[in-house]
Amino acid sequence: MDGEVKTVSADNSERSELIPILQEVQETEGFLSEKSLEKISKSLNISQTEIYAVATFYSQFKFTPPARHKIKICLGTACHVKGGEKVLEAVKRTLKLENEDTTPDLEYSVERVACIGCCALAPCATIDDHVYAKLTPNKIQHIITEMEG
């Protein structure tokens, strides 16, 4: 770093703006690019290392471009008890994903989340903004194959 980094005083309200700004950038750009981090660092006067340290702590922040369709499989307690893991496996199998969580063509990403608040309809998942309830491996397989067209 250029040595110009000032430490922001403890009650500096600018510092508390860091996370909301990161959230806003991710909301509009889909992820936190190196370029936007550089910009944020300059405008808030917080070193980039420090921004990385904060951003990587929170699972919300992504550093690679998002896929076109985001599949989120709920593995909250209720969904786990009702077989959510099998649903996740079926999604990964259908999309031919192993350890990675995004397809190479950036069409789909798969993420596990904890309780989306529809425990009564477990197991559930969301694809983009739509909630799918009472899933089974076979059902989700069909939903995805259909999306792929």
Residue 67: name the closest of 30, 116, 21, 119 by CA.
30
Residue 4: name the closest of 60, 47, 65 by CA.
47
Query: Is 19 near ligand FES (CB under 6 A)?
Result: no
Query: Is 125 near ligand FES (CB under 6 A)?
Result: no
Query: Is 79 near ligand FES (CB under 6 A)?
Result: yes
Task: Pick the piece of the chain touching ligand FES (CB under 6 A) from 25-33, 34-42, 55-63, 111-119.
Answer: 111-119
Residue 82: name the closest of 121, 113, 122 by CA.
122
Can you tell me which of 18, 32, 73, 110 binds other proteins, judged by CB under 8 A?
A: 18
Q: Residues 51, 23: contact at Cβ < 8 Å?
A: no
Q: Which residues pair with residue 127 across a beta bridge? A: 71, 130
- The option from ligand FES, other proteins, none interacting with 131 (CB < 5 to 8 A, set by class) reads other proteins
Site residues for ligand FES per CB under 6 A = 74, 76-79, 115-119, 122, 124
Binding site membership for [2Fe-2S] cluster: which residues?
A: 74, 79, 115, 119
